[in-house]
A and B are shown apart, each in its own frame.
Chain A
Amino acid sequence: MTGLATATHEQPVYFPAAEHTLFGIFTRPTRAPNGLGVILMEGGSPSMVSFQRNRLAVRIARRLAALGYHVLRFDYHGVGDSSGRVEAFRLDRPFEGDLGAAAHWMRQQGLTRLTVVGSCFGARSALAAAADLEGLESLAMIAMSISDDLAVLRADEYSVGHYVARGLRPDKLKGLLDPKMRKVYGKVIRHKLKAVTGRLTQRLTARQPLDPAVISPKVFHNIRRAAERGVHLFFVYGEGDAFYHDFQRARQGPLGRLLDRYDDRITVDCETDREVHGFTSVPVQDHAVERVVQWVARRGAATGPVTRAAG
């Protein structure tokens, strides 16, 4: 392997995405290019930037460049150096348009075969776009929630008794005065009722339907469509991730059958005794870099380089 890329091999870029202009850093290979492009997508937070926590994305990009890949990391609209404004990141409103624009820019550079690596919200956005994204061959999704609503998802971690006790606390009662909070409380209550009745129904009928409280129908649909199209999917979780437990629950239903049907193109990887979501420790980051680089390299080796590589 030749040396890692440095900023000498990198170039800041601006590219259009609908009414926005997105900022990114494009890394060129440090060895003979294989013609394959990789796009990195971060999680969703107002304080997230495309280099990611402790520069995780910079490390991945420069490692992949040493293997012959072209890599683009970019800021979503309203984030980092891109234009626009984002008030909140909602899992049911992924930014597939931003990825579409990034992929279009990569194709303009001659990179028509693409891999996307996304974490959390970035993974959701990538999955939403996957089936229709021209040239997409593989997609790594790190610590991705398969539910649409984090407040509702967290509701599964606590018992009904817990919510009754919390609901009687003065600060929570005060929250009832706030229409926004009333909406959140309402959602949680509806979800809990649905979960309890759902469990009863399952016990009575011994059926395992697609439970929208566990997996968003859109997520299921997008996984199926991407797999049908031949996109290779890589799910990465940590055993300590709440999202992984949801994923495992969903596997007991139709998701499990889908994973079995496409086991030649869907891989699930779980780090033992770790919380991957948010990359909140340096060892988790180090491990994530290795896993992602190895998987991308394996996919690249399996499909082979393109004959006319981009410069």
Chain B
Amino acid sequence: MTPDIATWRDAAAGIVEEAAFFGPQGGRALGVRHLPESGTARAGVVVLSPLKAEYMKNYRHEVVLARELAKRGFAVQRLNYRGTGHSDGVSADITFETLVEDARAVERELRERTGVEDVAFLGTRLGGLVAAAVGGTDAPLVLWEPVAEAGSYFREIFRSRLMSDMRLAKQRQAAATGRPSTQALMDEMTRTGAVDVLGYSIDRGLYESTKDRTLAAELAARPRRVLLVQCSRSQELRGAYAPAKERVEAAGREFQTVIIPAQVAWQFQDTEASRDTWVEPAVAATAEWLANTFAGVAA
């Protein structure tokens, strides 16, 4: 079946957006492309999202980024991984491998549809780990607050559930039952296959396939030019990112960091857009870095 492509032209911004499902029947994923209106792009950028609560939180930021990059002459491809967003599949079927497969499929889709030769990858949080696991050593990589160690990432998710449980117990003026811990939640996930964290299912398949992965190991396998965007009050690069930086620099590649003075509570939703003060500088830094990286490539 030929996919139906929905198109929107934003004449004021000089960009075009195309949305379509792609892939085989029963396993189709939604992709959205943001293109310069001129029809030719200097390079492509594949945007790889985080998952669960972080996916929702970052969704609009990725749209804003993609539109800005398209204005600057890039062909940008976004994706709802299978089992997420509007795509086919269910959460329980997501593994690190399916995320990587989807990232590779969407890269092919971008190349075929636009004809771009050079492609960069951008990933946020767990999407950063996926982005580091795809693309060759010639594909520049942008990482927004990437997960450095997957094990810590899952513990952080479980902690948000514990915080929520405590808040509910306080509201109901009831004593929390037992002594909850992240370990207890992990045990529950191993036993039942999934844990409910604030309405998001954290599944064993994703956990088992991801828990031992680190950004440093992924980048050691595919060292390339990196821009890392960190949000923190401290102006020091987080210790968790140091091994990744060392691996990239040891391979003779540039590892640039931008530290934005803001804190992001990734597991919780904001009620006002004005709290996301980090997004504008992150988009600006990313656009500038990609423009410099592909400075010699004509659109």
Interface residues of A (CB under 8 A from B): 6-8, 10-14, 21, 23, 25, 45-51, 53-55, 58, 78-81, 83, 85-89, 278-285
Contacts and interface: CB of A to CB of B under 8 A. Distances in A.
Contacts of B60: 46-47, 49, 79-80
A298 to B, nearest CB: 26
B272 A278 contact: no
Given A8-B26, A8-B28, A83-B10, A55 B84 contact: yes
Given A14-B6, A45-B271, A278 B199 contact: yes
Interface string B259-285: 000000000011111101000000000
A46 B26 contact: no
Contact of B201 (A25, A47, A51, A282): A282
B68 interface: no
Interface residues of B, number: 42
A9 to B, nearest CB: 10
A6 B248 CA distance: 42
B256 interface: no
Contact of A49 (B10, B21, B85, B201): B85
Contacts, number: 114
B21 A81 contact: no
Given A21-B8, A47-B59, A88-B272, A10 B26 contact: no
B270 A46 contact: yes
Given A8-B25, A80-B63, A87-B274, 6 more contacts: A6-B88, A11-B6, A54-B200, A80-B60, A87-B273, A88-B274
Say whether chain A's binding surface is mostly helix, strand, loop, or mixed.
loop
B1 interface: yes
Nearest to B275: A46
Interface of B: 1, 4, 6-8, 10, 17, 19-21, 25-26, 28-30, 32, 56-60, 63, 80, 84-88, 91, 164, 196, 198-201, 269-274, 276
Contact of B276 (A46, A58, A80): A46
A281 B199 CA distance: 4
Contacts of B10: 21, 83
A12 B272 contact: no
B56 A48 contact: yes
The B interface, classified by DSSP as helix, strand, loop or mixed, is mixed
Nearest to A21: B8
29 contacts: A6-B26, A6-B88, A7-B28, A7-B86, A11-B6, A12-B4, A12-B30, A14-B17, A25-B30, A45-B271, A46-B271, A46-B272, A46-B276, A47-B60, A47-B269, A48-B56, A51-B85, A51-B86, A55-B84, A55-B91, A81-B32, A85-B273, A86-B273, A87-B272, A88-B271, A88-B274, A279-B199, A281-B199, A282-B196
B7 A14 contact: yes
B63 A81 contact: yes
A89 B196 CA distance: 27
Contacts of B196: 281-283
A146 B15 CA distance: 40
**3 tightest Cβ-Cβ pairs between the two chains A and B:** A12-B19, A7-B28, A46-B273
Contacts of B164: 280
Contacts of B21: 7-8, 10, 12
Contacts of A78: 273
B4 A280 contact: no
Contacts of B7: 14
A285 B32 CA distance: 27
B200 A53 contact: yes
A78 B274 CA distance: 13
Contacts of B30: 7, 12, 25
Most B CB within 10 A of own CB, among A10, A46, A83, A281: A46
A25 B86 CA distance: 8
A81 B84 CA distance: 15
A6 B28 contact: yes
Nearest to A22: B8
Contact of B198 (A14, A50, A280): A280
Contacts of A49: 56, 59-60, 85
Listed residue (B4, B60, B91) with the most chain A CB atoms within 10 angstroms of its CB? B60
Contact of A285 (B4, B19, B199): B199
Nearest to A280: B199
B18 to A, nearest CB: 9
Contacts of A21: 8, 10
A79 B60 CA distance: 6
A88 B273 CA distance: 7
Contacts of B26: 6, 8
A50 B263 CA distance: 26
Contacts of A86: 273
B199 A55 contact: no
